[in-house]
Copies of this chain bind each other. A is one copy, B any other.
Amino acid sequence: MPPELLAAIEAIQSLPGIGRRSAMRIVFSLIEGGKTRVENFNHALTELVTRITACSRCGAYTSRGADPAATGCVYCDNPRRDSASLCVVEQPSDIYAVENTGEHRGLYHVLGGVLSPLDGIGPEELHLPELAERAARLGIKEVIVAANPSVEGNATAHYIADLLKPSGIRVTRIATGLALGQMLDFAETQAISQSIRQRVDL
Contact = CB atoms under 8 A, between A and B. Distances in A.
Given A16-B25, A29-B16, A41 B11 contact: yes
B11 A17 contact: no
A7 B47 contact: yes
A4 B49 CA distance: 9
A37 B165 CA distance: 42
A89 to B, nearest CB: 13
Given A2-B52, A5-B61, A11-B40, A45 B24 contact: no
Interface string A45-62: 111111110000000011
A178 interface: no
Contacts of A24: 93, 96
A3, A35, A40, A41, most chain B CB atoms within 10 A: A41
A48 B7 contact: yes
Contacts of A154: none
Interface in A45-94: 45-52, 61-63, 91-93
Contact of A16 (B26, B39, B47): B26
Interface in A91-111: 91-93, 96
Given A28-B93, A63-B2, A47 B15 contact: no
Interface of A: 1-5, 7-8, 10-11, 14-18, 22, 24-31, 33-35, 38-42, 44-52, 61-63, 91-93, 96
Given A4-B48, A8-B44, A38-B46, 11 more contacts: A2-B63, A5-B52, A7-B44, A7-B48, A10-B44, A11-B44, A16-B26, A27-B48, A33-B49, A38-B45, A39-B46
